[in-house]
Chains A and B, each alone.
Chain A
Amino acid sequence: MRKIIGPCGLHCIKVQHLGVRIGQQEILKDINLHIHCGSLNAIVGPNGAGKSTLIRAILGDLPHSGVIEFRDTGNGRLTRMRVGYVPQSLNIDKDTPVSVYDMIACYQSRFPVFLKKSRRVRERILEALRSFEAEELLDKQVCNLSGGELQRVLLSMAIMDEPHLLLLDEPVSGIDQKGMGLFYRTIYHLKENYDLAVVLISHDLDYVARYADKVILLSEGTIQKQGLAKEVYGSPEFAAVFGEGGGAVG
């Protein structure tokens, strides 16, 4: 991925009046977001608030109402938004014969991965893995990776096409406190040094307070409050969702 001195500040992602309905149930309603490049945006909220649904809607995996717009004010042209996505986990069993190379090559290349290893693809993958100090994982089986290793591999894959927007589902299992710290530092480093915006679902309010530029409080399918961590954590809406003690973090 192309490294820059800092984000260009010229493009942004606008979500307007987004709603998701599955059958009779309204999962998300009237979501409005304005995400700038070079910012780290954390979505927090209780279980069942619709956090994952929001990510899936932005990804285009779920049909939604409303508009998601990508604006590039630098040259005035509308380009197609490239989205990188890091899921929480993979659908992978023990003993699955898929190496890290295989997995990334499946998503990144049309050359049949089960026939032969392509040297060109291998070099590209190694380069991406190197940014996350994960190049030694290239030939390891994906099912044998630790939670932290898998996150690094998935992050490497997500930034390979220089995305404008990086969507992340924070890992909740298989990762220890030290790994979590490393995860947040890596994300922070990414948004500081590359030209992209990050939207992150988070379960850890302490880390959010420390690293996020903007906190989005989602509950009951809609945004209750958004702004700086300090503002959101001190708000009555936050207290209503997480209880009075929830704000005493960070």
Chain B
Amino acid sequence: MRQFSEREVELLGSGWEWLQFDFMRLAFLAILLITPLFGILGTMIVGRKMAFFSDALGHSALTGIALGVVLGAADPSLAMILFAIGFALLLNRISSKNASSTDTVISVFSSCSIAVGLAILSKGGNFSKYSGLLVGDILSVTPRELVYLAVILAVTLLFWICCGNWLEALSLHRALAKSRRIPVTALEYVFAVLVALIVMLSIKWVGILIINALLILPAASSRNISQNLREYHFFSLVFALFSGILGLIISYYTNVATGPMIVIVASLIYFATYLYGKKIA
């Protein structure tokens, strides 16, 4: 048995002993990067009523990977990202052209793409190789990947600061935003691509099945109790961070996958804020 250092012994008694493992420290850092990212992006997705859109994007990851495999790419991730960007642009175009039945059309494309992905990946009984993608594994994050996450967070923050007002204006009234010379079409496309990039780059750690929950829940909880945009963005960020950190710690002690545990905490916050919001209303 290995010897614990003084620092580790100190941690053991303090309730922070989960931090003694390298993978937990990396996962903790990853949570500190991913959850604010999702908290911020979520406010914009929920504000734009695009929850369905980001869900469909998450599902398209399988198709992207499948295409990469079929094309014989060494790293299917690139195929996945390119496919998702194409998919996002297509969905965005459909949404702007066909306002009445957008959710149906998105659903059709989403189911179709997931079926194609599953069909290709399950050929020859090999699907188990990819099933990890469904739930994700934040404990597998490497230091290099942390740098990628930091870069994505920085880009998102930049977009948030520069275009957050415009995006909100666009959500409230498109023609009114246009009359104020806001480049609405370009903004819609840039945002769709940004969402696609973030979903694809973080799906490995969060998982296809729950990525949308992580995007939507903090913002939705925050909406339950906020009265203005400052409260909305602040609480979304706090809820995302809190559920991420608490989910990680609980998952360590209960030996449950981290992603689902974070979503469970985020869901509890949602219900609590819902009840609280009803009470003060």
Residues of A within 8 A of B (CB): 56, 59-61, 83-85, 87, 90-92, 95-99, 101-103, 105-107, 109-117, 139, 141-142, 167
Asked whether B90 is an interface residue with its Cβ less than 8 Å from the other chain, the reply is no
Q: Which of B43, B166, B178, B222 contacts A61 (CB 8 A)?
A: B178
18 examples of A-B residue contacts, CB within 8 angstroms: A84-B179, A87-B175, A90-B173, A91-B172, A91-B174, A92-B172, A95-B223, A98-B228, A101-B228, A102-B228, A107-B169, A112-B165, A113-B168, A113-B229, A113-B230, A114-B168, A114-B229, A115-B233
- Identify which of B164, B172, B178 gathers the most chain A CB atoms within 10 Å of its CB: B172
Q: Which of A101, A105, A142, A167 contacts B165 (CB 8 A)?
A: A105
Asked whether B102 is an interface residue with its Cβ less than 8 Å from the other chain, the reply is no
Chain A residue contacts of B160, Cβ below 8 A: 112
Q: Which of A60, A98, A111, A167 contacts B172 (CB 8 A)?
A: A98
B228 touches A85 (CB 8 A): no
Q: Which of A83, A114, A115 contacts B179 (CB 8 A)?
A: A83
The 8 A CB mask of B223-237 against A (1 = contact, 0 = none) is 110111111110000
A91 touches B179 (CB 8 A): no
Q: Which residue of B lies closest to A86 (CB)?
A: B176
B172 touches A103 (CB 8 A): yes
A114 touches B172 (CB 8 A): no
A106 touches B165 (CB 8 A): yes
In the bound assembly, the distance between CA atoms of A19 and B198 in angstroms comes to 42
In the bound assembly, the distance between CA atoms of A109 and B176 in angstroms comes to 15
- Please report which residues of chain B, range 134-177, place their CB below 8 angstroms from some CB of chain A when the two chains form the complex: 160-161, 164-166, 168-169, 171-177
B223 touches A97 (CB 8 A): yes
CB distance from B223 to the nearest CB of A (A): 6
Chain B residue contacts of A116, Cβ below 8 A: 230
B233 touches A106 (CB 8 A): no
- Closest 6 interchain pairs by CB? A97-B226, A97-B232, A114-B233, A99-B228, A106-B169, A85-B179
Q: Which of B161, B173, B223, B228 contacts A139 (CB 8 A)?
A: B228
B168 touches A106 (CB 8 A): yes
In the bound assembly, the distance between CA atoms of A83 and B178 in angstroms comes to 11
- Please report which residues of chain B, range 200-232, place their CB below 8 angstroms from some CB of chain A when the two chains form the complex: 222-224, 226-232
B229 touches A61 (CB 8 A): no
Known: A87-B176, A92-B172. A110 touches B165 (CB 8 A): yes
Chain A residue contacts of B176, Cβ below 8 A: 85, 87, 107
Instruction: Say which size band chain B's interface belongs to.
Output: 20 to 34
The 8 A CB mask of B119-134 against A (1 = contact, 0 = none) is 0000000000000000
A97 touches B228 (CB 8 A): yes
CB distance from B48 to the nearest CB of A (A): 10
Asked whether B180 is an interface residue with its Cβ less than 8 Å from the other chain, the reply is yes
B180 touches A107 (CB 8 A): yes
Q: Which of B177, B223, B230 contacts A96 (CB 8 A)?
A: B223
Q: Which residue of A lies closest to B219 (CB)?
A: A97
In the bound assembly, the distance between CA atoms of A102 and B101 in angstroms comes to 30
In the bound assembly, the distance between CA atoms of A116 and B178 in angstroms comes to 25
Chain A residue contacts of B233, Cβ below 8 A: 114-115
CB distance from B41 to the nearest CB of A (A): 13
B231 touches A97 (CB 8 A): yes
Chain B residue contacts of A111, Cβ below 8 A: 165
Chain A residue contacts of B177, Cβ below 8 A: 107
CB distance from B163 to the nearest CB of A (A): 10
Chain B residue contacts of A98, Cβ below 8 A: 168, 172, 228-229
Besides the contacts A112-B165, A113-B168, what 5 more A-B pairs have beta carbons closer than 8 Å? A91-B173, A97-B227, A97-B229, A106-B172, A107-B180
In the bound assembly, the distance between CA atoms of A230 and B129 in angstroms comes to 79
Known: A95-B223, A98-B228. A112 touches B164 (CB 8 A): yes
In the bound assembly, the distance between CA atoms of A76 and B233 in angstroms comes to 48
Chain B residue contacts of A117, Cβ below 8 A: 230
Chain B residue contacts of A106, Cβ below 8 A: 165-166, 168-169, 172
B179 touches A113 (CB 8 A): no
Known: A95-B223, A98-B228. A90 touches B172 (CB 8 A): yes
CB distance from A99 to the nearest CB of B (A): 4
Q: Which of A87, A102, A110, A141 contacts B173 (CB 8 A)?
A: A87
- Identify which of B160, B179, B180, B182 gathers the most chain A CB atoms within 10 Å of its CB: B179
Chain B residue contacts of A91, Cβ below 8 A: 171-174
Chain A residue contacts of B231, Cβ below 8 A: 97
Q: Which of A101, A102, A139 contacts B168 (CB 8 A)?
A: A102
